[in-house]
Amino acid sequence: MAVTVLPSVSGLSAVASSSNLRRLTSASNHRLTAIKSVTSTSSPPTPSSGVQRRRKNNDENRATVAKVVENPYSKVEAARPDLQKRLSDFLEEAREFVGDGGGPPRWFSPLECGAQATNSPLLLYLPGIDGTGLGLIRHHKKLGEIFDIWCLHIPVSDRTPVKDLVKLIEETVKSENFRLPNRPIYLVGESIGACLALDVAARNPNIDLSLILVNPATHVNNFMVQPLSGMLNVLPDGLPTLLEDIFDFGFKQGDPLTGMLDALSNEFSVQRIGGVGGGMLRDVLAVSANLPTLSRMFPKDTLLWKLEMLKYAIASVNSHIYSVRAETLILLSGRDHWLLKEEDIDRYSRTLPKCIVRKLDDNGQFPLLEDGVDLATIIKCTCFYRRGKSHDHITDYIMPTTFELKQQVDDHRLLMDGTSPVMLSTLEDGTVVRSLEGLPSEGPVLYVGYHMILGFELAPMVIQLMTERNIHLRGLAHPMLFKNLQDSLVDTKMFDKYKIMGGVPVSHFNIYKLLREKAHVLLYPGGVREALHRKGEEYKLFWPERSEFVRVASKFGAKIVPFGVVGEDDICEIVLDSNDQRNIPILKDLMEKATKDAGNIREGDESELGNQECYFPGLVPKIPGRFYYYFGKPIETAGKEKELKDKEKAQELYLQVKSEVEQCIDYLKVKRESDPYRHLLPRMLYQASHGWSSEIPTFDL
């Protein structure tokens, strides 16, 4: 194995070994530089023929072939998980790290992290008790696309005190902040590494830092630590070496047990058995087959030293916690209570000025190495990613991966399969077709339509536009979906889907920025009032009296696509609306709290739109009918900016759009009566005879 000797890092010599890592070191001016790898480019895959689009000519009635564009989401059902590595990969890589010959702490950057986007923020990973710096190994590739990642490696034999580790990290932070003052720096700390991150943030309140703390160590459980320390003190010093020799002898001599463990571990890794049980079994086998590595990683004297470090680090953090000014994301496992107390996390969440607590209910001590935890996705869902001084919902948004879209499909599969959506669009010549062919390919486009109860229509529409046409709708949503409310009545995780799919808090400025970026923008003028309507108000529009979007659309020449959707009355019935809940004391109090937490985005509006109550309607499900979507003919605003500056002209166009949305709804309500497959049983029978993936017919157009 090659050993690379690098110049000093903050006065410490750096000796590193590994074939798949690029090492980082500081020059005399303390700037860290990287030995970058050369990557090869591959030819792009052949675009899908299903992405080709035709346009009809109104005069000659002949088809032309549009530009072929690859749709990365067209094969979403075949998407594989973004994170492929497992605990066994961590242990395999750790073999090289625990045998690297010692030396002082130093930074390294994995080769997998070499393809980050332009202006990516810096991410410094601070390891937990293992000290290898490999805790992000499952996330290297995905995080490496959006961050410049450096990991801190603390050799097994190193005895650098906590205060010197904090100084090392602090010098790196200061040098990088001096080099790129407008680039945020993320500190991702696990366990004791979280303590180091908090200490650095407390000592540098004026540097732009973002903290991600994974199971931060907040206290030492003396009930467990004291017996552990006593047991370690009486163990012979040569025990780890003896254990290693036993395993080495077993493997060399063909010992049946150790050979079986290694073979089973490799077999399970190859077959990638799915499910929680399979993952746990693979991990158990991986640990069993790598006991020598673990024994070298945690020799007796190192464990005793780590316990002392832990006590010092926790005491230091608790004395400095009130000085932290950085925004913080805390990831808290549901099954890890050895080095933290939930009471301490509650105190942190109230003490730290900008703190989000994310609970990982099904995970244990090392969540970053466990299935079901994708750090990049969590960062997206909490709007914690930024390239500048603050998060921008438009410029800092990261498109979902194919697998993230597949997760949305899986989460909404029951709704989509149960309602078998029918989507109609209108071509330039006015022809209505059962496809999304009539939707404009290029932005800016503003989709304006009707909001079903609880927004049931959103998921099927957004997903189908992405998979069929590669059109990504940026929905304008109520700001309450993006708030971090500690005492919220609902689990904020239920709003993740809006953030991962590109939702943006509704405001005039955000509409302006989205259209300026030539985006496909989804707007519901009726907003919360339509989505939380009362009994008997199905398909009624609750739009403001005056135009709110026409002039900004005309400024950028955006096409306006009116659309209607029906089917909510075929899947549920409202039995408890806001009027009913207002008469029930407990529900009235909950409704008032929810309304207060949500805030009023139409403050000053004296109509009912300016006094909208937030509540969860009581619904009784029905045997599902069918959803129908109808996108009307796009309305051109290009070249009409001067004309639409006139308020009366803008109001005329506004009323035209509203009228066309109502016509789309009326059209669908009439046509669905002639659909022989409107109800569930005929659809099931059709698919049973024609295949479960076959498209179900509908009414004649």
CATH code of 435's domain? 3.40.1130
- Residue 105 CA, chain-centre distance (Å), reads 32
Q: For residue 242, is pLDDT > 80?
A: no
Predicted pLDDT at 54? 39
| One domain for residues 368 and 414 | no
| One domain for residues 350 and 412 | no
The span from the CA of 156 to the CA of 136, in Å, is 18
Cβ count within 10 A of residue 228? 13
Lowest-pLDDT range of 140-144, 248-252, 651-655: 248-252
Predicted pLDDT at 285? 53
Predicted pLDDT at 296? 76
Q: Is residue 593 part of a domain?
A: no
668 — pLDDT class (breaks 50, 70, 90):
very high
The CATH number of the domain holding residue 339 is 3.40.50.1820
Lowest-pLDDT range of 27-31, 217-221, 346-350: 27-31
The span from the CA of 447 to the CA of 475, in Å, is 9
- pLDDT per position as a tens digit, 43-91: 333 433 333 333 344 444 434 434 456 888 999 999 999 888 888 888 8
Q: Is residue 23 part of a domain?
A: no
| One domain for residues 376 and 420 | no
165 — pLDDT class (breaks 50, 70, 90):
very high
Using DSSP, state whether 124 is helix, strand or coil. strand
Mean pLDDT, residues 273-302: 61
Kindly state the tokens that stand for 388: 């500048």
Q: For residue 504, is pLDDT > 70?
A: yes
Q: Is residue 685 part of a domain?
A: yes
Q: For residue 687, is pLDDT > 50?
A: yes
| One domain for residues 331 and 197 | yes
| One domain for residues 498 and 421 | yes
Kindly state the tokens that stand for 675: 């659909």
| One domain for residues 428 and 458 | yes
Cβ count within 10 A of residue 560? 24
Kindly state the tokens that stand for 252: 């060399």
| One domain for residues 207 and 324 | yes
Lowest-pLDDT range of 286-300, 369-383, 548-562, 624-638: 286-300
| CA atoms lying within 13 Å on the CB side of residue 101 | 11
Per-residue DSSP letters for 561-604?
Answer: EEEEEE-GGGTEEEEE-HHHHTTSHHHHHHHHHHHHHH--TTTT
Q: Position 645: which residue type? A: K
Predicted pLDDT at 244? 47
CB 628, CB 452: distance < 8 Å: no
| One domain for residues 193 and 316 | yes
Q: CA torsion, points 224, 229, 235, 237, in degrees to nearest 10? A: 140
Q: Is residue 531 part of a domain?
A: yes
Of residues 215 and 342, more confidently modeled: 215
Compute the radius of gyration of the chain from its Cα atoms: 29
The DSSP call for residue 324 is -
Q: For residue 288, is pLDDT > 50?
A: yes
Q: Is residue 602 part of a domain?
A: no
| One domain for residues 311 and 342 | yes
Give the count of domains, the chain: 2
Predicted pLDDT at 353? 86
Instruction: Write down the H helix ranges in 290-389.
Output: 291-297, 300-320, 342-351, 375-381
290 — pLDDT class (breaks 50, 70, 90):
low
Predicted pLDDT at 243? 43
Of residues 700 and 291, more confidently modeled: 700
Q: For residue 3, is pLDDT > 60?
A: no
Mean pLDDT, residues 604-617: 78
CA distances from 114 to 2, 38, 39, 144, 151 (A): 20, 9, 9, 6, 13
556: left (phi over 0), alpha (psi -120 to 50) or beta: alpha
Lowest-pLDDT range of 11-25, 34-48, 654-668: 34-48
Predicted pLDDT at 336? 63
| Contact residues for 595 (Cβ-Cβ < 8 A; gap 6+) | 612, 613, 614, 615
Q: For residue 514, is pLDDT > 70?
A: yes
| CA atoms lying within 13 Å on the CB side of residue 196 | 31
Predicted pLDDT at 101? 67
339 — pLDDT class (breaks 50, 70, 90):
low
Q: Which of 322, 348, 382 is the last residue of a domain?
A: 382
Residue 557 CB burial class (10 angstroms; 0-12, 13-18, ≥19): middle
Mean pLDDT of the chain: 81
- Residue 383 CA, chain-centre distance (Å), reads 8
Percentage of the chain with pLDDT > 70?
77
| One domain for residues 644 and 535 | yes
Predicted pLDDT at 546? 83
Cβ count within 10 A of residue 310? 20
Predicted pLDDT at 497? 94
Predicted pLDDT at 90? 86
- E strands in 592-693: 618-621, 628-631
Q: Which of 321, 348, 382 is the last residue of a domain?
A: 382
**Residue entry with tokens 């001590």:** 365
The span from the CA of 331 to the CA of 493, in Å, is 13
| One domain for residues 374 and 336 | yes
Q: For residue 565, is pLDDT > 90?
A: yes
Q: Is residue 269 part of a domain?
A: no
Q: Which of 332, 353, 382 is the last residue of a domain?
A: 382
The domain in which residue 470 lies consists of 402-569+624-690
Using DSSP, state whether 346 is helix, strand or coil. helix
Q: For residue 307, is pLDDT > 70?
A: yes
190 — pLDDT class (breaks 50, 70, 90):
very high
- pLDDT per position as a tens digit, 106-151: 999 998 886 677 789 999 999 998 899 999 999 999 999 999 999 9
Q: For residue 24, is pLDDT > 50?
A: no
- E strands in 365-516: 422-426, 432-433, 445-449, 473-477, 504-505
| One domain for residues 326 and 440 | no
Cβ count within 10 A of residue 161? 12
Q: For residue 2, is pLDDT > 70?
A: no
Lowest-pLDDT range of 179-188, 208-217, 332-341, 461-470: 332-341
Using DSSP, state whether 184 is helix, strand or coil. coil
Residue 390 CB burial class (10 angstroms; 0-12, 13-18, ≥19): exposed
289 — pLDDT class (breaks 50, 70, 90):
low
Of residues 174 and 58, more confidently modeled: 174
Q: Is residue 91 part of a domain?
A: no
Q: For residue 227, is pLDDT > 70?
A: no
Q: Is residue 520 part of a domain?
A: yes
Predicted pLDDT at 18? 40
What is the per-residue burial (b if ≥16 Cβ within 10 Å, else e) of 676-700? Answer: ebbebeebeebbeeeeeeeebebbe
